[in-house]
Every structure is written in C-alpha cells, then in structure tokens.
Amino acid sequence: MHKTTLEQWALLEKVVELGSFAKAAQATHRSQSSVSYNLALLQERLGVALLQAAGRKAILTPAGELLLAQARPLLKAFEHVETRAASLQNGVRTRLDFVVDSIFPRGKLFAILRQFQRLHAQTQVHLTEILENDETAIAKADVMVLTRRQDMTGRGEWLMNIDFVAVAHRDHPLHRLPGPVSEDELAQYPPIRITNREAKPLQDEPVESWTFSTIEAAIEAITYQVGYGWLPEERISRQIEEGTLKILQLSHGTRRATPLHLVVKKDILPLDEQVQTLLRLIKEQP
C-alpha cells in the first residue's frame, strides 16, 4: 500500500499556493486542524520535512520543492480524470476523431485546434493526418477534411483549393532549358510523387520515378535534387522566397488546384456542440 495519498499532496500544494494553513483550510472547506494533521502525517510517513516557516508564511523546504514538483503531474492527471468523469456524467463529448488530409495548411490546422481547446477543454481531439484517402482512418472519424467530396458514411461540402506548383532545386538542369519546359523535356528527369503505399503507379508515369509517403520527405528529396515535383505552394513558400526551390516554367502550366472537402459522418447527426464548434472553426479560419 502507498504511504501517502493524493489528497495529502493536494493539500500541500494548496498550502504552498496560499501561504498558510488557515487559507488552505478555508479554500478546501476543511478545518485548520484537519489540514495540519494531514500534512504532519504526510511528512511523518515520508520521513522528510516538506514545509518550513518564513515569517507568517509556510514555504517548501528544498526537499519539499523536489517532491512536490514530481507529484504535481500526478495531481494534474487525476484532476483530468475527474473532469472527464464529470463530462461523461453530464453527457458532454470527451473525444472527437478528426481526420485531415496532409495537404491541409498546417498553420490553419493548429490555429483551429488551439481555439477549440480554449472553448472545449474537456473534449480531446484525436487528430490523424492521412495521405490521399485512407479508408481505415476515415472509417473511425467524426469530422474529415478530404480531397474527395464524400466518404463512405457522410456527405461533404467544398472547403478550399490547395494550389500545387511544379518546382525543382534552383540548380536543377530543368531551369537551364531555354523557354517553357515541354513534356518531352520533363520526361528526361525523374519526378517526385507523394502517395501512399497502396496507390497504383500512373499509366503515363516514367519508369524512373521516386515515391514518398509524406510531403516533408518529398520536399527534402527535391531540395537535394533527387528530382522535380508538384508540391503544395503554401508548404514551400519559405524555400521559394529564399530561392532554394524555383517554380518550373512548363509549357502545359505550372499550377494545379486540388479541392478539399469538409465531411461529417452521418452517424453523429444531429450534431453536438463540440462538432458544431469544430466545423465552425474550420470554415471561419482564414
């Protein structure tokens, strides 16, 4: 059995926070003698002095500072457990599964999650980033941002377009060709593709090509002159500004737009407050 209790550590933290036994007793709706007894018992069982007087205030000893610092994460975790239990009792959603295609702008994504946390601290968002349309992840999701308009259980609406640009390293031979690059000239160099493992090769794809399962890996590959490729313009804006990567001038166009759609699983209709908040933040985020 444990020698100490979470209640005793919580009382110690409250005494240190407020500076006295009397104030801690008032804040926790206890008698001062009860607070004193529990903290005396805590120190006795540990065999270490945790508190010392500093004028009229009670402060931690060096040993107390060390041990309370280790106990605080436990107190925080226990508080979280009790909060989630209360949420379950009150019928508040405690988890929301959110699936996002990896081309969705990271800045927008983190801004959405940060705002949601402030509004619904009791609801944990389980975020999964996918490449293209991962059926396994989609099947478990409540809210999705996908490249296709619908999933197997819901209907979606257009959210935004993601602009892709054809780029290569500034020293790549393609940039030294005179005039716009033709498809025949482009075919002489290996392209970089971003796709999942299950994706089938394109029929007109060159034999010599590179496939990567993350946008970050594809960016690095093009930066190291492994090949050229189509990348989300927003994700490589810094490299373009610095001149590390340059947009290729192609005879058949240098930009492509990929639509993203906002999808809600049919099973969760009517929508609860947390889902409605997430949908609103996704739509409103500039």
Q: Which two tokens stand for residue 233?
A: 């313009």
User: With 70 as the cut, is the pLDDT of residue 88 above it?
Assistant: no
197 band by pLDDT with thresholds 50, 70 and 90? low
* Mean pLDDT score, 174-194: 91
User: With 70 as the cut, is the pLDDT of residue 89 above it?
Assistant: no
* Mean pLDDT score, 36-50: 92
pLDDT tens digits for 239-256?
A: 999 999 999 999 988 889
Residue 30's Cα: distance from chain center in Å? Answer: 41
pLDDT at 219: 96
Q: Are 122 and 96 in contact (CB under 8 A)?
A: no
Query: pLDDT over 70 for what percent of the chain?
Result: 88
All CATH 3.40.190.10 domain ranges in the chain, comma separated: 95-160+259-284
All CATH 1.10.10.10 domain ranges in the chain, comma separated: 6-89
pLDDT at 141: 86
* Mean pLDDT score, 224-239: 94
pLDDT at 144: 92
Q: Are 159 and 282 in contact (CB under 8 A)?
A: yes
109 band by pLDDT with thresholds 50, 70 and 90? very high
User: With 60 as the cut, is the pLDDT of residue 206 above it?
Assistant: no
User: Domain 6-89 carries which CATH code?
Assistant: 1.10.10.10
Cβ count near 177 (within 10 Å): 15
Neighbour-count burial for 146-171, b at 16+ CB within 10 Å, e otherwise:
bbeeebeebebeebbebebbbbbbee
pLDDT tens digits for 53-71?
A: 888 888 999 999 999 999 9
Give CA angle at 123 (235, 112), nearest 5°. 25
User: With 80 as the cut, is the pLDDT of residue 84 above it?
Assistant: no
* Mean pLDDT score, 1-8: 86
pLDDT at 271: 84
All CATH 3.40.190.290 domain ranges in the chain, comma separated: 162-256
Q: Which CATH architecture has domain 95-160+259-284?
A: 3-Layer(aba) Sandwich (3.40)
User: With 60 as the cut, is the pLDDT of residue 171 above it?
Assistant: yes
pLDDT at 209: 80
151 band by pLDDT with thresholds 50, 70 and 90? low
Sequence-separated (6 or more) residues with CB below 8 Å from residue 79:
none
User: With 70 as the cut, is the pLDDT of residue 28 above it?
Assistant: yes
Q: Which CATH architecture has domain 162-256?
A: 3-Layer(aba) Sandwich (3.40)
- On whether the pTM is more than 0.85, the answer is no
Which residue has better confidence, 267 or 153?
Answer: 267
